[in-house]
Every structure is written in C-alpha cells, then in structure tokens.
Amino acid sequence: MSKTPKKANLPSKICTVCGRPFVWRKKWQTCWEHVRYCSERCRRNRRSVNH
C-alpha cells in the first residue's frame, strides 16, 4: 500500500486572496497549517487586496 492519500481524499483550503479552493501538496506536508495562499502570485498580491 502507498503512504500517500488518494487525490479525492486530500484536504483543501480556500485562498485568502482570490477565494479559490486549493488542495494539499506534498511540498506543504510539514507546514500545511500555515499555508494561506494558493500560489506565489496570490502571496505576492496579498497586500494590494487587503488595502
């Protein structure tokens, strides 16, 4: 059996900038609770949306 979850069972969140849902990625396995943005573009644009 594989240790990685099936794609249908991956956790998801809503991006705080664009409002789109995004799912867990392997590169976020150690910091998933801190991830707030779906992409680097949204992370860079976070200040322009909040003002």
Please give the single-letter amino acid code of residue 49. V
Residue at 3 is within a domain: no
Cα 50 from Cα 19, distance rounded (Å): 13
Residue at 41 is within a domain: yes
Considering just the CA atoms, what is the radius of gyration of the chain in Å? 13
Residue at 44 is within a domain: yes
pLDDT on residue 50: 60
Residue at 24 is within a domain: yes
pTM for the structure as a whole: 0.72
pLDDT on residue 1: 56
Residue at 30 is within a domain: yes
pLDDT on residue 46: 85
Residue at 2 is within a domain: no
- In tens, the pLDDT along 6-51 reads 777 899 999 999 999 999 999 999 999 999 999 999 999 988 766 5
Q: Which domain holds residue 37?
A: 12-50
Residue with tokens 């392997």: 26
How many structural domains is the chain composed of? 1
pLDDT on residue 49: 65
Question: Quick check: 42 and 15 in contact, CB under 8 A?
Answer: yes
Higher pLDDT, 5 or 36: 36
